[in-house]
Chain A
Amino acid sequence: MVTYDANKRWNFGVVWVYGSGNRGTLPNGFFLYEGSLSNDYGLRNSYQFIPYHRMDVNITYTPDRTKKLERRRLALIERQKERGLDTNNIVVTKKWKKNYQNSFTLSVFNVYNRYNPYFIYVTREGDFASGTLKVGAKQVSLFPILPSLTWNFKF
């Protein structure tokens, strides 16, 4: 995992996760019994899935709150001047917002869209006795590339 604070407003992060493939039990063969096909499984956990890996990235933008408060103070002084009022003792009312902070995070899960296996199963289509059987294997993966936008705030 790497994070980098470019400045007070911008933060970057990268996570790379790697794990050797899980182990599972898959049928190695099949057989005909009572007119239908059944699986013949190999040794328990004799099959190793492909390795699991993915990369997640995120960019966080934190607006500069002091600049915003300063802009508000200047705007208030301007209004006071227009009304002909004293501008020496201007105080920007903070109220509940005095501790308010927020940031925006754009993150992308599994940025290179790797299809990590969740489970694998074998398929049989057609009829064995008539010579039309086709076998195959399918892999089901859970999460492809997933972008997300987050608004964080605290007060």
Chain B
Amino acid sequence: MKRFIYILSLLFMSSCRKDVQLKLPDYTEKIVIEGSIETGSAAVVLLSYSVPYFGDFDFSAPQTAFIHGALVTVTDGTRIDTLKEADPSVGYLYLGEKLLGEENKIYTINVTVNGKTFNTSTAILHPPTLDTAYFQQDHDSLGFINQHFSEPAGSGDCYRWFAKRLGRDRIYVAPFNSVFDDKFIDGKSFEFAYDRGRLPNPNGAPDPERGYYKLGDTVVVKFCRIGRNEYDFWNTYYQNKSSNGNPFSAPSNIKSMFSDYKNAFGAFVGYAARFDTIIMR
């Protein structure tokens, strides 16, 4: 009888989840291009390779995924800026110098890696204006940023939203689903809110204010109009993110702005921003 109880206990305690070895189809690494150009600033491009899950990539040497020695140029049709590697020993980050972004201009990027060239174009569009932006307290001293926006008539506009806490964030951070288009809101006035985007957190330290702004913060909102291709990229990027680690969601790949999407994907996005400063009170 005891033996029977032991066996039964083992059955009840056995897990329904176990580690498995997968034999995935062969994976060819792709070139990942993360580029942007803003008004008054030169182009910034990050180049890396995608990494196979179960290939021979050495995860203890992540720098091998960074691309160095690539030829990256940005042109506005008349002038060409050849981007330089910020640190040639590492690669990855390429910075322009000569060509500063200007509103209503089109910029084309050419990225040449291992003899193959990938290109796409982006326009820096006139920035939109928020009517108002204010702190929407949610609980305790934490809350979101709420804003009123009158969307200009004429369909096809797309937007991206960022924010930065002065003295606390290094960069403007885009929250999840930071893009929207005017498919259902064309020419309408409405309110919308965003929570606080997350910066990469390699230490994994818990953030008690995660997703929230706090009373006393001074936040600069950066609101931009982007093109349709740029919107499609970011929209599918967030769809892809939402399926990360969720076995019940539909897997979704990103719609690249680069034509040769089988070998390279990513975006080159032009931003002209309108800035609003909000003191959380």
Contacts and interface: CB of A to CB of B under 8 A. Distances in A.
Given A131-B62, A137-B19, A141-B16, A38 B237 contact: yes
B27 interface: yes
A30 interface: yes
Helix, strand, loop or mixed for chain A's interface?
strand
Contacts of A30: 50-51, 53
Interface string B227-257: 0000000000100110111011001111000
B111 to A, nearest CB: 15
A27 B240 CA distance: 11
Given A26-B24, A40-B30, A47-B24, A144 B16 contact: yes
B34 A39 contact: no
Contacts of B34: 33-34
Interface residues on A, range: 35 or more
B247 A34 contact: no
A3 interface: no
A29 B247 contact: no
A108 to B, nearest CB: 11
Interface string A31-55: 1111111111111101100000000
A142 B15 CA distance: 10
A31 B24 contact: no
A115 interface: yes
A47 B266 contact: no
Contact of B27 (A34, A42, A44, A140): A42
A138 to B, nearest CB: 6
A120 B27 CA distance: 18
Contacts of B3: none
Contacts of B32: 31-33
Contacts of B37: none
Contacts of B1: none
A28 B52 contact: yes
A115 B22 CA distance: 15
Nearest to B65: A32
A140 B22 contact: no
Interface of A: 25-44, 46-47, 113, 115, 117, 119-124, 127-142, 144-145
Interface of B: 11, 14, 16-22, 24-25, 27, 29-30, 32, 34, 48-55, 59-62, 65, 174, 199-200, 202, 204, 237, 240-241, 243-245, 247-248, 251-254, 266
28 contacts: A26-B22, A27-B53, A28-B53, A29-B29, A29-B51, A29-B53, A30-B50, A31-B30, A32-B32, A32-B48, A34-B34, A38-B237, A38-B254, A39-B240, A40-B253, A41-B251, A42-B24, A42-B25, A120-B22, A128-B62, A129-B200, A131-B62, A132-B59, A133-B62, A135-B54, A138-B20, A140-B247, A141-B18
